[in-house]
Structure 1
Amino acid sequence: MKKQFNRMRQLAHQTVGRAEKTEVLSDDLLQVEKRLDLVKQVSHSTHKKLTACLQGQQGVEVDKKSKKLPLTTLAQCLIDGAAVLGDDSLLGKMLKLCGETQDQLSQELLLFEVQMEREVIEPLYTLSEVEIPNIQKQRKHLTKLVLDMDSARTRISSQQTCTVLWPKKLTMQTISRRCVWDLNAAKCANSAHAVPTLSLSP
């Protein structure tokens, strides 16, 4: 609680210009930091649109994804139709050829989507949802540590200033500790108006 209070006080002093602010990041890193939110927004939007363009289900095995592709379903339908009509039929031969072509197209599409997931979609997700939030979290932690350092430095500077203006030898507390009332038993015995002597010796 005390540490949070010191941070808020230091931040207030830095805001009004009563305290210096330590900057631990270089100018290049500060420029990059300003663009983090934009990069996160663009990466998230691109990842969402690319995922919507996928015809296969994301995150499943290749065999299961291949069976659920529309082109695979169409290819199987054409091949089944060709088998019903037979190779003697002209339409059957055409359906068989078209079915085989569609099956090849579905395999190419499957390979393309798998590669795009691995090399584009997953890195975009990691960047927008994992890496950038971690950077922002560490940046907040660094800001707190810098505030703690500046606050401690300010307190040390204030104590040094007070020590220069009010040396330890001249403080009332030190004088009161060193002041010892020495009652002279002999004088007290001889006179009822004996005055205690003040000793400033340590």
Structure 2
Amino acid sequence: MKKQFNRMRQLANQTVGRAEKTEVLSDDLLQVEKRLDLVKQVTHSTHKKLTACLQGQQGADDREKRSKKLPLTILAQCMVEGAAVLGDDSLLGKMLNLCGETEEKLAQELIQFEFQIEKDVVEPLYELAEVDIPNIQKQRKHLAKLVLDMDSARTRISCPQICTILWPKK
């Protein structure tokens, strides 16, 4: 009980900022802690918005899986099928076939672009928001606990010296 009381008193002293506060927990570090939450929220919302903008199926590593649900690919297939129905000799058939091939190339470029965006932007944002920042916050809490332990040890070390000075043994 006495140990818990001393621990709470030390925590209160550190919070208030008395002179015995350890230098490890400086004001700059406390300000960084406050900004971490803001950075986490911003990266999380940016990640959500970016993944919502991507047209292909996110997370699919296979080009075929992505291209099946892409509107450009579906349109290109319809144009090529329409050209096949009209025949290759007609001018409209040739035009539909050419448009279908162009749409297919555009779809492949879009898929390549989305792969690159996911690799370069979306995955690092997710890593930052969901892994790195929580680890920093966890380490910060652990550091605060260790600082309390260090202050407690300092208090216990200095107490016998003060006690012997104030109340010398007879």
Tell me the TM-score normalized by structure 1.
0.76
* Aligned equivalent of 2:14: 14
* Aligned equivalent of 1:117: 118
CA distance in 1, matches of 2:151, 2:21: 7
Residues 2 and 52 of structure 1: CA distance in aligned 2, closer, same or farther (over 3 Å): farther
Superposed, 1:17-166 pairs within 5 Å as 20-24=20-24, 29-60=29-60, 61-166=62-167
Relative to structure 2, which stretch is displaced further, 25-34 or 103-112? 25-34
CA distance in 2, matches of 1:99, 1:62: 18
CA contact (8 A) 1:50 1:121 kept: yes
> What is the Cα deviation at residue 68 of structure 1?
1.5
Residues 101 and 118 of structure 1: CA distance in aligned 2, closer, same or farther (over 3 Å): same
Higher relative contact order (CA 8 A, sep 6+): 2
Gaps of 5+ in 2: none
CA contact (8 A) 1:72 1:103 kept: yes
Gaps of 5+ in 1: 171-202
Tell me the TM-score normalized by structure 2.
0.89
> What is the Cα deviation at residue 4 of structure 1?
5.2
- CA deviations on 1:33-55 (whole Å, 9 max, x unpaired) are 33211211110010000000111
Please provide the CA RMSD for this pair: 2.1
Aligned residues: 169
Letter in 2 for 1:85: L
Relative to structure 2, which stretch is displaced further, 114-123 or 58-67? 58-67
* Aligned equivalent of 1:197: none
CA contact (8 A) 1:7 1:144 kept: no
> What is the Cα deviation at residue 91 of structure 1?
1.1
- CA deviations on 1:2-51 (whole Å, 9 max, x unpaired) are 76554322112334566611022567655543321121111001000000
Letter in 2 for 1:49: K
CA distance in 2, matches of 1:91, 1:62: 30
Residues 26 and 15 of structure 1: CA distance in aligned 2, closer, same or farther (over 3 Å): closer
> What is the Cα deviation at residue 151 of structure 1?
1.4
CA distance in 2, matches of 1:138, 1:3: 24
Letter in 2 for 1:83: A
Query: Alignment identity in percent?
Result: 81
CA distance in 2, matches of 1:131, 1:3: 34
Residues 17 and 139 of structure 1: CA distance in aligned 2, closer, same or farther (over 3 Å): closer
CA distance in 2, matches of 1:63, 1:138: 42
- CA deviations on 1:155-191 (whole Å, 9 max, x unpaired) are 22222111111123x1xxxxxxxxxxxxxxxxxxxxx
Structure with the greater alpha carbon radius of gyration: 1
CA contact (8 A) 2:73 2:103 kept: yes
